[in-house]
Amino acid sequence: MPNIHGERIRLRAAEKEDIPNFLRWINDEEVAENLLFIAPMSRYEEENWYDTMMKKPASEHVLVIEVKNQDNPGKFTPIGNCQFHDIDWRIGSAEIGIMIGEKSCWDKGYGTETMRLLLEHGFNTLNLHRIWLQVFAKNKRGIRAYKKAGFQFEGTFRDADYQHGQYQDVHFMSVIKDE
Ligand SMILES: CC(C)(COP(=O)(O)OP(=O)(O)OC[C@H]1O[C@@H](n2cnc3c(N)ncnc32)[C@H](O)[C@@H]1OP(=O)(O)O)[C@@H](O)C(=O)NCCC(=O)NCCS
């Protein structure tokens, strides 16, 4: 299918050439602060992850989030990635993940727009029924963006993650197709 287009961004298939950007983003301290990584990622590990991911069904492939250039609308700049994980086709349920790795692009609405595009894609192309995510309770930016995109708070897994010598709560949020 063609790229997924929003007003200011598009989601396109990832290529091997995107690996250096992915690596730079997940090894950035501030970006990784709210992600589930527990060790620095090497180029070798990232390439292995990419190869394994590409063997999965296309619906679970990572998508690159790109912003349309203001001066040249035909050109796009990669700022992050996103993905559906572990799709359960019987229930029509999938987890969703997002990372905007270019920190200068935070708080500009791109995360919200990406989530809206993924919800549209998930419900109206993949025919999912429920799309959910987990987010650290401290990730106020993420929680706000997900609420704006239509996610509802489902509940909290207490002390479900451990970081910087202390446990932290993890929130679960979801959208059901009819919503
Ligand atoms: C989380 C993430 C996807 C959000 O995307 P984004 O493009 O920055 O978010 P948006 O601009 O769409 O929305 C952010 C909202 O949070 C608000 N916000 C920012 N910091 C905040 C804080 N400390 N407390 C409350 N709200 C905050 C912004 O003002 C904005 O709300 P507004 O539009 O009502 O003003 C992105 O920042 C990111 O990928 N961060 C690093 C990795 C990560 O956290 N991934 C998600 C793991 S679950």
Residue 86 maps to which CATH number?
Answer: 3.40.630.30
CA dist., res. 170 & res. 179, Å (int): 23
Residue 1 in this model has a pLDDT that exceeds 90 = no
Which of 143, 136, 96 lies closest to 120 in space, CA to CA? 96
DSSP sequence for 64-122: EEEEEPSS-TT-EEEEEEEEEEEEETTTTEEEEEEEE--GGGTTSSHHHHHHHHHHHHH
Residue 140 included in any domain: no
- Give the count of domains, the chain: 1
Pocket test for ligand 1, best of 82, 112, 136, 144 (most atoms within 8 A of CB): 144
Residue nearest to atom 38 of ligand 1 (CA): 100
Give the DSSP H or E segment for 159.
strand 152-163
> How many angstroms separate the alpha carbon of residue 75 from the centre of ligand 1?
25
Instruction: Please indicate, yes or no, if residue 112 is contained in any of the structural domains.
Output: yes
Q: What is the mean pLDDT of residues 137-159?
A: 98
- Flag whether 168 is in a domain: no
Q: Does ligand 1 have an atom closer than 6 angstroms to the CB of 135?
A: yes
Domain containing residue 123: 4-131
What is the position in ligand 1's atom list of the atom closest to the CA of 145?
13
Q: Is residue 141 part of a domain?
A: no
Q: Residue 145: inside a domain, yes or no? A: no
User: Could you give the 3-state DSSP secondary structure of residue 144?
Assistant: helix
Give the phi and the psi of residue 77 in degrees, each rounded to 5.
Answer: -120, 125
Position 34 confidence tier, pLDDT thresholds 50, 70, 90: very high
- Whole-model pTM? 0.97
pLDDT, tens digit (0-9, with 9 covering 90-100), for 67-95: 999 888 789 999 999 999 999 999 999 99
